[in-house]
Amino acid sequence: MNASPLPCVAVLGTGMMGFPVALRLRAAGFGVRAWNRTTAKAAGLSAHGVQVCADAAEAARGADMVLSLLADGAAMGEVLFAHGVATALRPDALVVDMASIQPREARDHAARLGERGIAHLDAPVSGGTTGAEAGTLAIMVGGKAADFARAQALFGALGHATHVGPHGAGQLAKLANQMIVGITIGAVAEALLFTAKGGADMAKVREAIAGGFADSRILQLHGQRMVERDFAPRARMTVQLKDMRNALATAREIGFDAPATALFESLYAQSVDHGLSGLDHAGLFVELASRNGMQ
C-alpha cells in the first residue's frame, strides 16, 4: 500500500531561517511554494525544486499548510489578512506560524482564521540558522492537539516539536527561551570580561569553568564567539531586543514582574543605540567591553 503523499506547504518569508527551512521541506519530499517580500531572497530556491511565487496569496492558494517565518506579528497579520492569504486558503488548511510574536497576536490570528474554518498553530523555534539547516530546531507549539498531530510530518523534517498548550502558549515558551538566552549571554559576557579585566586569560577561564555548574550551551557557543570576537550575525541584536520587548509587554499584560528581563532589555537597547544593531546577539559583549574601557 502506497504511503499518503506529503502535503503542499507554502513558506512565507525566506530570510535567514525561512530559506533553509524551505530547502529541508523540499528535500523531505514536501511540495513547496515560497514567497518573500524581497523576491531576490527566494530566487535561489528555484534550483532546488521550490516554486517561487510573486505574491503571498499565490503561494497559499491550494496549499495544505502555510508555514510563516515573517519578522513579527504585525507583518504576519498584514500578510494573512491584507495580502489575501486567508482568503486564498481552503477552509481545511493549517497555518503554522514559526515567527516569534506576542502571545496575544497569536491568539488573535488563530481566532480570525478559525472564523474561516482555517486551523492555526503558533510554533516558534529555537536553534538558529544552524538548527534550521541541520533539522534540529526546538519547536514550541501552541494550539489544538489535533492540529499538532496533523503537522507531525512537517515538524519531523525540521526538528523536535513539543505541544505546550493552547493558542499563544508556543509564543510564551519562545519568550521564556529568549529571556533565558538574552540574560545568559549577558551573564557570560560580563563574567568573561570581568576575568580579562583582572588579568586572567579569558579563553582559559571559559575552558576552566566548562563542565561545572556554570556550563551552558551559551557558554560553549556564544562564549567561544566572544573569545574569538566573532559577532557575524546568526541571530541579530535587533531580534533579541524585539523578543525582550515582547516578553516585557506580555509580562505587563499578565501582571508579572520581570526585573532581570527589564535590565537586559535596556542593555540590548543601548547596544543598538550605540551602533551594534548588525551584530549577533552575542555582540552584547562589545557593549559591555566598551563600558569598561576594553577593546
Residue 8: strand, helix, or coil: strand
Q: Are 232 and 276 in contact (CB under 8 A)?
A: no
Q: Where is 138: in which H helix or E strand?
A: strand 137-142
The burial of 282, by beta-carbon neighbours within 10 Å (0-12 exposed, 13-18 middle, 19 or more buried), is given as buried
Pairing mode, if any, of strands 137-142 and 125-126? Answer: antiparallel
174 is catalytic: yes
CA proximity to 105, closest of 93, 114, 97:
97
- The DSSP letter of residue 2 is P
174, 197, 204, 242: the active-site residue: 174
What does the alpha-carbon distance between residue 176 and residue 179 come to, in Å, rounded to a whole number? 5
Task: Give start and end residues of each alpha helix (H) in 160-258.
Answer: 169-197, 202-209, 217, 223-228, 237-254
What does the alpha-carbon distance between residue 4 and residue 7 come to, in Å, rounded to a whole number? 9
Residue 162: strand, helix, or coil: strand
Q: What DSSP string runs through 19-49?
A: HHHHHHHHHTT-EEEEE-SSTHHHHGGGGGT
Measure the CA angle with vertex 246, ends 14 and 86; round to 5°: 45
CA proximity to 249, closest of 73, 124, 102, 107:
102
Active site residues: 174
